[in-house]
């Protein structure tokens, strides 16, 4: 009887250690843990920034569209913790005149399809 109790204690201890180690390892794999919570564009509060300065600060866009009226649309996509965000910045004569949120997506494939569609229609 004493041996059976010792075996049960060892068995329960091993089960407890297994569960704790499993939960700890899952925390390291938490989705989006390496991505920022907020968009890098959250602090843009006014228009008028020259395109050259904008690109120097935020990097090259994901995509670029040059329209017939001479304006340019720069598409920036960001992966945040739980979503993918695409923002369009419109420049006229090299100056930022508009910032528009195009898409927020939780699923990667529909997001890519919407970007392709948006680029084809402009």
pLDDT tens, 14-32? 665 656 666 665 544 444 4
pTM above 0.75, yes or no: no
Residue 77: Cβ within 10 Å count: 17
- Residue 77's nearest CA partner among 61, 57, 58 is 61
The domain made up of 34-121 has a fold known as Beta-lactamase Inhibitory Protein; Chain:B, domain 1 (3.30.1450)
pLDDT for the residue 115? 76
């Amino acid at each position: 009887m004493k041996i059976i109790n010792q075996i049960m204690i060892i068995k329960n201890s091993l089960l407890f250690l297994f569960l704790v180690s499993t939960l700890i390892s899952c925390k390291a794999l938490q989705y989006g843990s390496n991505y920022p919570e907020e968009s890098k564009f959250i602090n843009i509060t006014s228009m008028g920034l020259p395109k050259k300065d904008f690109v120097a600060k935020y990097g090259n866009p994901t995509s670029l569209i040059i329209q017939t009226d001479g304006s340019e649309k720069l598409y920036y996509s960001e992966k945040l913790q739980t979503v993918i965000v695409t923002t369009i910045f419109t420049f006229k004569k090299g100056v930022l005149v508009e910032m528009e949120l195009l898409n927020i997506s939780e699923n990667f494939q529909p997001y890519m399809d919407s970007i392709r569609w948006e680029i084809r229609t402009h």
